[in-house]
Structure 1
Amino acid sequence: MTTNTLTRHWMELTIDGTGVRLSCISRKGAGMPIVFLHGFGSTKEDYADVALHPAFAGRPIFAYDAPGCGESECSDLDRISIPFLLKTALAALDEQGIDRFDLVGHSMGGLTSLMLAHQAPERVASFTDIEGNVAPEDCFLSRQIFLHPHEDPEEFLEDFIARNWAAPFYSSPLYATSVRYKVRAGAVRGIFESMVDLSDNADLMAKFLSLPLPRMFMYGEQNKTLSYLPHLASNGVALAEIPHSRHFPMYSNAPEMWRRIAAFQARAYEDSPSAETACA
Structure 2
Amino acid sequence: MTTHEDPHHAVPSAEPLTDETVRLRVDDVDLALATVRRDGHREPVVFLHGFGSTKEDYADAALHPAFTGRGLLAYDAPGCGQSDCSDTAKVSIPFLVATAEAMLDHAGIDRFHLVGHSMGGLTALLLAARNPDRVLSFVDIEGNVAPEDCFLSRQVVTHPATDDEAFFDDFIDRNRRTPAYSAALYAAGLRHKVRPGVVRPIFTSMVELSDHGDLMTTFLKLPCPLMFMYGEQNAHLSYLPALAAGGVELAPIPRSGHWPMYANPVAMWDRIAAFHTT
State the TM-score, normalized to the length of structure 1.
0.94
Letter paired with 1:221 = E
| CA displacement at 1:151 relative to structure 2 | 2.0
Displacement of 1:152: 1.3
Q: Segments of 4+ in structure 1 off by > 2 A?
A: none
**Are 1:236 and 2:247 counterparts?**
yes
Q: Which residue of 2 aligns with 1:71?
A: 82
What is the distance in 2 between the residues matched to 1:244 and 1:4? 30
Q: How does 1:85-164 map to 2 (within 5 A)?
A: 85-164=96-175
Query: What is the letter of the counterpart of residue 141 of structure 1?
Result: L
1:240-264 Cα deviation digits (max 9, x unpaired): 0000000000000000000000111
Q: Which residue is equivalent to 1:220?
A: 231
Q: Number of paired residues?
A: 266
Question: What is the SS of the residue equivalent to 1:60?
Answer: strand
- 2:178 aligns to what? 167
Q: Secondary structure at the match of 1:226?
A: coil
Q: Is the 8 A contact 2:78 2:84 kept in 1?
A: yes
CA deviation after TM superposition for structure 1 residue 3, in Å: 4.5
Query: Counterpart of 1:181 in structure 2: which amino acid?
Result: H
* Structure 2 residue runs without a partner (length 5+): 1-12
Q: Which of structures 1 and 2 has the larger relative contact order (alpha carbons within 8 angstroms, sep 6+)? A: 1
- Take 2:63 and 2:248, find their aligned partners in 1: how far apart are those partners? 28
Instruction: Check the 8 A contact 1:3/1:58 in 2, yes or no.
Output: no
Tell me, yes or no, if the aligned pair for 2:14 and 2:63 is still in contact at 8 Å.
no
1:180 counterpart residue number = 191
The amino acid that maps onto 1:234 is: A
Instruction: After superposition, give the CA deviation of every residue in 1:141-176 in whole Å (9 maximum; x if it has no partner).
Output: 000000001121111111001000000000000000
What value does the CA root-mean-square deviation take over the aligned residues?
A: 0.8
**What is residue 54 of structure 1 aligned with on the other side?**
65
| Structure 1 partner of 2:210 | 199
Where structure 1 has 5 or more consecutive residues not aligned to the other structure, the ranges are: 268-280
Cα separation, 2, equivalents of 1:243 and 1:14: 41
Tell which structure's C-alpha radius of gyration is larger.
2
Residue in 2 that maps onto 1:277: none
Q: Which amino acid aligns with 2:192?
A: Y
Aligned partners of 1:8 and 1:158: how far apart in 2? 31
Measured after TM superposition, the shift of residue 4 of structure 1 is: 2.1
> What amino acid is the match of 2:145?
V
The 8 Å contact of residues 34 and 60 in structure 1, kept in 2 or not, is answered as yes
AA aligned opposite 1:244: R
Q: C-alpha displacement at 1:189, in angstroms?
A: 0.3
Q: What is the alpha-carbon distance in structure 2 between the residues aligned to residue 152 and residue 200 of structure 1?
A: 24
Q: Which amino acid aligns with 2:273?
A: A
Corresponding residue to 1:10 among 11, 18, 21 = 21
Residue type of the alignment partner of 2:64: H
Output the CA distance in 2 between the equivalents of 1:220 and 1:4: 30
